[in-house]
Structure 1
C-alpha cells in the first residue's frame, strides 16, 4: 500500500468511500508479491495494481460490491491443480486477494500517516476485522483476545524485519502486512565466520552488509548472501552509514587496528546489538584499550564479547547460530536458557494497547 498511500490520503481528505484489495498469498509465478494493493473509490477511480493487469477487471468489480455492501470479500484468481477459478493469470500463477472496505480498516488515518512518514507500523487482517500493531502498542481487535495476543506477537516479529506474510495464530490464518525497511546487519571482517553470519542474517530477514578494508577478501564471490559489500576502513564506513535502534553490528575482525577505532564509533550508536569476536584474552585486551581510549563503563556494558551464546560451537556455521541466538534473545528479552528448564510462558507478554 506504500505506493498508493498519497492517493488514499487524498481520498480521505475528500471524504470518499473506498475499498482496498491486497494480495495476501501467491503461488507459483504470481506477478505481484503479498502486500501489493489496489484501491477503488465510490467514484470508480482506481489506484495501484494487484497483478499488473491480469485480474484487475475482476478485482474492480468485486471492490465496487465491497464499497456498496461494506462487507469484505476474499477471492482466489488463477489455475492450480486443475481447478479453474474466476479469472486466469496469464503468467500461470495464482493469487489470493482480500478486499476490505475503508470502514473496516482500524486506525486508517494514523496508519496512512505513518506509512507516508516512514514510521513503522503493521496490520493484521482477517476478512471482517483488522488489528494495528505499533512498535509499543496494539489497536483494534480480531474478535478474540487470545487471537489478538498471538497475532500481535507474530506481527511484532515481522515488523522488526519489515516483512509481510500469512501466519497462523491460534490455528487461524491471518495476513500480516508491515511497513518498515528491513533491519540492518553489518558484519565487519571478511573472514569465513563472516560468510556464515551473513548467511544466517539474511535468513533472519536482515539486510546484510559486509565491510572490510581488504578488497581482496571482501568480494561478492565470497559473500553471495550479502546484500552489500563495502571495501573501506570499518570505522570510517560506520561513521557515514545509517545506524538505528534495530541495527545489529557484528565485529569479527579481532584485530586491534580495526576493532578499537570501530568500536569507539559503534558504542556511541543506537544499535540494538554490538558483538565482537575474540578469545577471552583478546576481549580483555580490547576492553583495556577501549578504556584507555576514554569509553565509559556504561558504553562498554553494551558490548557483547566474546560474541554469541555458549552453544559449544566450533565451525563457522555453528558460531553463526550462536551469534544469531544471542541477537534474537537480546531483541525479544529471551534468557537463552533451555525451554525445558523453564516454567514461564514460551512467548513473552503481549504488547500493551
Structure 2
C-alpha cells in the first residue's frame, strides 16, 4: 500500500525526520507504478511500500543516506541487471528528506516565555505555550505560537503527545511549580529539557529531586540554568540566549552539556 498524504502528515507530527520515496518512472515489469510513495524514518522503519523485496531494501538504505546528507536524490534501478530480480524492468525513485519543525513547549507565559516564543518561533520552532493564568496566556501576547494551552501545567504534561524530539523550557511564575513540572518531565522522552534559574535555585532543585528518588543520570538531562552566557539581562536578550542553546542542540552543533554556559544564572 502506498503512503498517503495523511500518513505523511502524521509522520511530520511525530517531529522526527524522514524521507519520502516516490516512484517517478516505471518501465517494463516493475513492483510499483509511477506515483507510488513510501516513507522511511531514520531507523529504517517504513510507512507504505513500493513493492517490497530487494528494490525496497535498496531504497531504504539510500533513504537513510539521504537523511544523513540532508539533500534529495534520484536513484535508478535496473531490476534484472543490478538487483537480480526476476520481474525485470526499470524504476526511478526520488528521495526527498523531510525535516519537521522541532516542537518547543514553554511552561510559563510570563515576560521571558513571551519573548522566547517569539524568538524561537522565528528560528523554526513550532511553539506551544502552557499556563493556567488566563490573563497572561492570550493570542495577543503570543501571536506566533502554534498552540496555547490554558490549563494546569501538570495536567498538560499528561495530555500532550511527547516524543524523543520535543524541546521544553520551564519558566513559570512559581518555584514549587517549576520543580513539579521538571520532576514529571524528567520521566518523559525529550530531546531537551531546560529551566530558568540561578545556580543556587538549580542546586536546591537537584537536591530535592534526588531526595525524591531520581538518579543522577536522570538529573543530568536537565539543562539549567538554561541558555548560553551572552550577558543577557532583558527578557528579549534572555530569549536569545535560550534560543541559541536550543539551536545548538537541534543542529547537534555541540553536545548539550557543552552548549550550556549558564545564560540564565542571574534569574532566581
Cα distance in 1 between the residues matched to 2:187 and 2:222: 11
**Quick check: 1:233–1:258 contact (8 Å CA) kept in 2?**
no
| CA shift for structure 1 position 301 | 0.4
SS in 2 for 1:274: strand
Distance change (3 Å), C-alpha of 1:253 and 1:219: same
CA 1:274/1:210 → structure 2, altered by over 3 Å: closer, same or farther? same
CA–CA distance in 1 between the matches of 2:160 and 2:181? 13
**For residues 232-276 of structure 1, what are the alpha-carbon distances to aligned partners after superposition, in whole Å with 9 as ceiling and x for unaligned?**
111221122111111000001162231121111110111111000
Question: Which ranges of structure 2 fall in alignment gaps of 5 or more residues?
Answer: 9-21, 50-58, 73-93, 261-268
| Aligned-partner Cα distance in 2 for 1:111–1:327 | 26
Aligned to 1:3: 5
| 1:114 equivalenced with 2:46 (yes/no) | yes
Q: What is the aligned-residue RMSD (CA, Å)?
A: 3.8
**1:190 corresponding residue in structure 2:** 109
Contact kept? 1:283, 1:306, Cα under 8 Å: yes
2:131–2:137: 8 Å Cα contact kept in structure 1?
yes
1:233-312 to 2 correspondences below 5 Å: 233-253=152-172, 255-312=174-231
Relative distance call for 1:235 and 1:310 in structure 2 (3 A) is: same
**TM-score where L is the length of structure 1:** 0.50
Q: 1 or 2 for the larger relative contact order (CA 8 Å, sep ≥6)?
A: 2
Contact 1:115 1:179 in 2 (8 A): no
Q: Secondary structure at the match of 2:121?
A: helix
Q: 2:248·2:259 contact (CA, 8 Å) conserved in 1? A: yes
Task: Give the Cα separation in 1 of the matches to 2:6 and 2:204.
Answer: 54
Sort the Cα spacing of 1:231 and 1:153 in 2 relative to 1 into closer, same or farther, 3 A. Answer: same
Runs of 4+ with deviation above 3 angstroms: 11-17, 108-117, 130-134, 175-182
Once residues 6 and 216 of structure 2 are traced to their aligned partners in structure 1, the CA distance between those partners, rounded to angstroms, is: 48
Alignment match of 1:221 (pick from 118, 140, 143): 140
Q: Which has the larger radius of gyration?
A: 1
- Name the counterpart of 1:138: 65
Q: Which runs of 5+ in 1 are unaligned?
A: 19-38, 40-101, 103-107, 118-129, 141-148, 156-174, 338-353
